[in-house]
Structure 1
Amino acid sequence: MKVFRYLAATLVMVWALGFLWFTVALPQPAGDEKTDAVIVATGGAGRIDQGLAVLDQGLAPRMLVTGVDPEVRPEEFAAQFEVPQDQMDCCITLGFTAVDTRGNATEAAAWVEQEQVASVRLVTTDWHMRRASAEVARALPENVRIVRDAVPSAPSLTSLFLEYHKLIASFIAGLFGY
C-alpha cells in the first residue's frame, strides 16, 4: 500500500509541475525567420491577422488557413480580413476539411506535399502551440522545418487546464502511433 501511495503522490507531483510549466512558459512569437509558407490554424483571435502580417512582411510567400468553416466563401474571408484579391489569388489557400487540431495537421500535411514546401511557420495561439506543433510535426515529413509563431493571449485557467490535458492525451496517442 505504501508503494501505491508513493507512486500516486509522484504522479500528482509530476502532473502539477507539468501544469505549472505549461501555464508559466507559454510559447512566444517567432522572430524574422523566413519560411516557404505559413500555416494558420483557425479558432482563436489574432491568428489569421498574424498569418497575414507574416505575408505582408515577406517572411513567407504563401499561406494555408486550415480549419475554415465550409460555409465561408473566399470573398467573405477577403472582405473580413481586408485581403486584396490579387493576394487571395496568388498566396492564400483556405482549407475547409479540418474540424480539430489533428485535422489541421492532416490538412496541412497534404497542402505541404502538394506545394512542395520545405519549411513552415505555424501560427496558433500560445496555449495551443505545443499540441498543434506536435500534431503537425507528426503529420509532416521529417525534413520539413517548423517555426513556431505563437499569438499571445490571456487564456483562462479553465482553457489552460483543458489544453494541458489535451496535450497529455495527444502525447500518449503519439506514443501508440495514433
Structure 2
Amino acid sequence: MLDMNWMMMGSDQQTAEAAPARARRGRSFLSILVWSIAGGMAAALIAGFAVYLNEIHSEQSRTSRSADGIVVLTGAAQRMNDAIELLAKKRGTRLLVSGVNPAITNDELNRQIPDFARLSECCIDLGHEAQNTLGNAVETAAWAKKHGFKTLLIVTSAWHMPRALVELERETDGIELIPYPVVTERMREQSWWTSPQVARLLVFEYLKYLAALVRAT
C-alpha cells in the first residue's frame, strides 16, 4: 500500500512539474507568433512605402495630353501656377480650383497669380466646399458632371497624387483622370531621407494613402 501511495505521489509531482513547462512553451509559442506577425506587418509596410516612393518618382514625368477640364487641388502655390499655365495653353476648356479658402477673394488671386484675371471670368471656377482630399473628390465629381466632362487633368503635388487619384476614382465614376504632378525644386533636388521634414511628410502621406485604399475597397 505504501508503494502505491508513493507511486501516486510521484505521478502527481511529475504532473505538477510538467504544467509550468507546458505553460512556458505556450507563452513562448504565442510570443513567437506575435513577433512573427508584427515582423511581417512591418516588412509589408516598408515594402509598400518603397512602392509608394517609386510611384511618386514615376509621377514626376508630366503628360502632354489635353483633357475636357482641369482640376487643381489647392495646397502648394506651384500647383495653382501650373494649372493656370495649362488653361492658358488650352490644355482644357475650364479649370476648377478645388478647396479654396472662403476668405480668399478673386482680387487677391488676381494680384498673386499671373493670367488669373484674364482667365477667371470665362474659364475658372472656384470650389469653396472641400476641406480635404475626399472633399476635393466630391467637389470635382459634381463639377465634372455639371459640365459633362469625360476627361480631367488632375494637378497636385507628386507626393499627393496617389491618394488624390484613389479618392477621385471612387467619386468620379468612369471619368478618365490624367495626372499632372507638381514637383517643387526642393523635392526634385533633395533626397527625402536627408530632410526630417520631407521624410515626415512622406511617411504621413503614405499612411493616409493606405487609409484611402482601405476605404476604396
What is the TM-score with the length of structure 2 in the denominator? 0.76
Please tell me whether residue 148 in structure 1 is matched to residue 190 in structure 2: no
Structure 1, unaligned stretches of length 5 or more?
Answer: none
Letter paired with 1:14: A
State the 1:3 CA deviation.
3.7
What's the CA shift for 1:161? 0.6
Q: 1:89 aligned to 2:121?
A: yes
Deviation at 1:86, TM superposition (A): 4.1
Q: Is the Cα–Cα contact under 8 Å of residues 95 and 124 in structure 2 kept in the other structure?
A: yes
2: CA distance, partners of 1:116 / 1:127? 29
After superposing the two structures, state which structure 1 stretch, 48-57 or 25-34, moved more: 25-34
Residue 143 of structure 2: aligned partner? 111
**What is the RMSD of the two structures over their aligned residues, measured on CA atoms?**
1.5
What is residue 165 of structure 1 aligned with on the other side?
207
Identity of aligned residues (%): 28
CA contact (8 A) 1:122 1:147 kept: yes
CA distance in 2, matches of 1:115, 1:80: 27
Q: Cα offset for 1:5? A: 2.9
Counterpart for residue 8 of structure 1: 38
Q: Structure 2 matches for 1:16-165, cutoff 5 A?
A: 16-26=46-56, 27-83=59-115, 85-142=117-174, 144-153=175-184, 154=187, 156-165=198-207
Aligned residues: 174
Q: Structure 2: which 5+ runs fail to align?
A: 1-29, 193-197
**Higher-helix-fraction structure:** 2
Output the CA distance in 1 between the equivalents of 2:122 and 2:45: 46
Bigger mean CA offset, 20-29 vs 104-113: 20-29
In structure 2, the CA distance between the partners of 1:50 and 1:29, relative to structure 1 (3 Å rule), is farther
1:115-172 Cα deviation digits (max 9, x unpaired): 1111000000010000011111111021x11001110132600000110000111111
